[in-house]
C-alpha cells in the first residue's frame, strides 16, 4: 500500500542487529555472492561458521531452512549474526544502513535499541561498541539526522516538515535515539554496567533501557537492581514482557511500572486487566509474533482487542532484517488484517500520530514531531 510508505511513521521497537540488511550480511560473509533469499543467507552464514569450527553446523541446520521459527530458534540465528557482526567497523556500517532504511521508509523518529557487547578478541568493550554505533549515526549523509539530546537547535530556523532545507535542497529528516538493551543472559553487574553507560551517554542520544534476549533464560530478580537504578535516575525503561507464558514474571514486570512493554503475547485474563488498568503502552510487532509462532495467527492477535479498547499501542518491526519486514509493511498488515475495525489511511495515520506521546525523547522532539504530523495531516487526502 503506497500510503503506508508515504505517511510519516514512528518506530519504537527495532533491534539494531536484527534490522541488518540481507545484502550486508551476505557481503560480510561472502563478498562475491549475489543471492537474495533470507533463508539461503542464514544457511550460508551457518555453513561458513561451521567450516571455521565456530559452530556445529548440524545443530543449527534445521533452524535455517524454514520461515516460521520458534522464538528459541530465532535466538540461535541471533548468535550466528553476532558471530560475524560484532566488530567496530561492522557495527558502524549496520547502524548507518539501518537508519537510512528506516528514513527511506519515511520513519521520522526511530528509537533504535542495541545490546552493548564486549568482544575481547576484537578489543571491544560495551563503551567502544556504543561509540561505534554513534559513529554510524554520525556517518549517515543521505538524510538529515537529529540524534543528540542537547543538540543546539534554533527553532526559528528549523523546518518542522518531513523534509529539511539544506543548501537549497530538500532532505529527509529523521530523529534517532538509542535504547541500550540488557540481554537476559547477562549478570546483574553487566546489567548495571549498561545502565551506567546509558546514563553517561544521555547527551549523545541515549534515552532509555530495554530488557530483551531469550525469554526462557535469566531471572527477573537478576536485572531488577539495574532497572530500579535506571528508573531512579530518570531513565525510561521498556521490557520485553510475556513472550512466553510466565505469569509470575509478567506480574513482577507490570508491578515495576515500565514506561512501555514489548510483545505481551502470553497474557492471561488477569494480566490483561492489570495492563489495561495501568495503561502501559504496548509495542506490537505483528510479523515477528507470527513468524516466531508466539501468536498462532493474526485473527487471534491482541492488537485488535487493544486497539478496540483504546489501549496505548505502537506498531513496530522488531527485527526487519531477520523477519524480512519494514515499518510500512507492518502498517499495511495491521490495516488489512483487522479490517472490521476499519483501519483505513486516516486511522493508521492517527495511530502513528498518537505514538508521539510514547517516545522517550524530550519535549522539544515531541513538539517538533507534533508539528510535523500536523503538517502531514493537512496534506493527507
Q: Residues interacting with ligand 5GP, by CB under 6 A? A: 15-18, 78, 114-115, 181, 183, 212-213, 215, 240, 243, 288, 318-319
Instruction: Report the residue number, 208 or 213, with the smaller CB distance to ligand 5GP.
Output: 213
Query: What totals of helices (H) and strands (E) does the chain contain, helices first?
Result: 16, 10
Q: Which sign, positive or negative, has the C-alpha torsion 249, 250, 254, 255?
A: negative
CB neighbours (10 Å) of residue 152? 5
Q: Nearer Cβ to ligand 5GP, position 15 or 96?
A: 15
Contact indicator for 18, 321 with CB cutoff of 8 Å: yes
Nearest residue (CB) to ligand 5GP, 85 versus 106:
85
* Euclidean distance between CA atoms 172 and 190, whole angstroms: 37
Q: Closer CB to ligand 5GP, residue 172 or residue 240?
A: 240
In terms of Cα–Cα distance, which of 60, 151, 144 is closest to 362? Answer: 151
Distances (CA, A) of 113 to 29, 119, 182, 241, 320: 24, 19, 10, 16, 13
Nearest to 213 by CA among 245, 242, 185, 179: 185
Q: Which is nearer to ligand 5GP, 183 or 193 (CB)?
A: 183
Q: How far is the CB of 191 from ligand 5GP (least distance, A)?
A: 13
| Smallest separation, CB 212 to ligand 5GP (Å) | 4
Between strands 9-15 and 169-183, the pairing is unpaired
Q: Minimal distance in Å, beta carbon 190 to ligand 5GP?
A: 13
d(CA 373, CA 175): 14
Q: Hey, which residues does 109 pair with through a beta bridge?
A: 10, 175
Q: Known catalytic residue: 243?
A: yes
The residues near 5 (Cβ < 8 Å, ≥ 6 apart) are 105, 106, 328
- The Cβ of residue 253 has, within 10 Å, a number of other Cβ atoms equal to 24
Cβ atoms 14, 76 nearer than 8 A: no
Residue 9 or 240 with smaller CB distance to ligand 5GP: 240
**Is 49 or 372 the residue whose CB approaches ligand 5GP more closely?**
49
Instruction: Please tell me which residue in 243, 249, 283, 330 is annotated as part of the active site.
Output: 243
State the nearest-atom distance from the C-beta of 183 to ligand 5GP, in Å.
5
Q: What is the three-class DSSP state of 345?
A: helix
Judged on CB neighbours under 10 Å (0-12, 13-18, 19+), 12 is: buried
Minimum CB separation from ligand 5GP for residue 73, in Å? 12
Alpha-carbon distance 106 to 145, whole Å? 13
Instruction: List all residues 6 or more positions away from 38 whose beta carbon is below 8 Å from its beta carbon.
Output: 22, 321, 322, 324
Contacts of residue 206, defined as CB under 8 A and 6 or more positions apart, other chains included, come to 130, 177, 178, 179, 180, 197, 198
We find the least distance from the C-beta atom of residue 215 to ligand 5GP, in angstroms, to be: 5
Secondary structure (3-state) at 27: helix
Nearest to ligand 5GP of 329, 343 (CB atom): 329
> What's the closest the beta carbon of residue 252 comes to ligand 5GP, in angstroms?
16
Closest separation in Å from C-beta 319 to ligand 5GP: 5
Active site residues: 243
Amino acid at each position: 500500500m503506497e500510503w503506508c510508505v508515504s505517511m510519516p511513521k514512528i518506530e519504537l521497537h527495532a533491534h539494531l542487529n536484527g534490522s541488518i540488511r540481507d545484502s550486508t550480511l551476505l557481503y560480510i560473509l561472502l563478498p562475491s555472492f549475489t543471492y537474495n533469499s533470507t533463508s539461503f543467507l542464514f544457511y550460508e552464514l551457518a555453513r561458513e561458521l561451521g567450516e571455521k569450527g565456530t559452530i556445529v553446523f548440524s545443530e543449527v541446520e534445521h533452524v535455517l531452512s524454514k520461515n516460521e521459527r520458534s522464538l528459541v530458534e530465532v535466538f540461535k540465528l541471533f548468535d550466528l549474526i553476532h558471530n560475524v557482526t560484532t566488530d567496530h567497523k561492522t557495527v558502524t556500517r549496520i547502524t548507518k544502513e539501518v537508519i537510512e532504511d528506516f528514513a527511506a521508509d519515511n520513519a521520522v523518529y526511530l528509537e533504535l535499541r542495541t545490546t552493548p557487547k564486549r568482544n575481547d578478541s576484537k578489543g571491544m568493550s560495551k563503551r567502544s561498541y556504543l561509540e561505534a554505533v554513534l559513529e554510524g549515526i554520525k556517518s549517515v549523509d543521505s538524510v538529515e539526522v537529529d540524534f543528540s539530546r542537547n543538540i543546539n537547535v534554533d527553532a526559528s530556523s528549523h523546518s518542522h516538515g518531513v523534509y529539511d532545507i539544506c543548501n537549497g535542497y530538500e532532505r529527509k529528516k529523521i530523529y534517532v535515539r538509542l535504547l541500550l538493551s540488557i540481554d537476559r543472559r547477562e549478570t546483574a553487574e553487566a546489567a548495571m554496567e549498561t545502565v551506567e553507560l546509558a546514563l553517561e551517554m544521555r547527551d549523545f542520544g541515549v534515552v532509555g533501557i530495554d530488557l530483551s534476549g531469550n525469554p526462557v533464560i535469566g531471572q527477573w530478580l537478576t536485572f531488577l537492581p539495574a532497572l530500579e537504578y535506571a528508573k531512579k535516575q530518570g531513565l525510561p525503561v521498556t521490557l520485553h514482557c510475556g513472550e512466553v507464558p510466565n505469569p509470575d514474571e509478567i506480574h513482577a514486570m507490570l508491578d515495576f511500572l515500565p514506561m512501555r512493554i514489548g510483545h505481551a503475547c502470553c497474557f492471561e485474563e488477569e494480566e490483561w486487566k492489570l495492563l489495561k488498568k495501568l495503561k502501559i503502552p504496548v509495542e506490537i510487532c505483528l510479523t515477528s509474533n507470527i513468524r516466531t509462532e508466539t501468536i498462532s495467527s493474526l485473527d487471534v492477535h491482541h492488537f485488535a482487542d487493544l486497539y478496540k479498547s483504546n489501549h496505548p499501542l505502537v506498531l513496530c518491526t522488531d527485527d526487519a532484517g531477520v523477519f524480512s519486514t519494514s515499518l510500512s509493511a507492518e502498517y499495511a498488515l495491521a490495516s488489512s488484517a483487522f479490517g472490521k475495525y476499519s483501519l483505513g489511511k486516516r486511522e493508521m495515520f492517527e495511530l502513528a500520530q498518537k505514538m508521539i506521546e510514547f517516545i522517550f525523547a524530550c519535549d522539544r522532539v515531541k513538539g517538533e514531531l507534533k508539528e510535523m504530523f500536523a503538517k502531514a495531516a493537512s496534506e493527507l487526502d
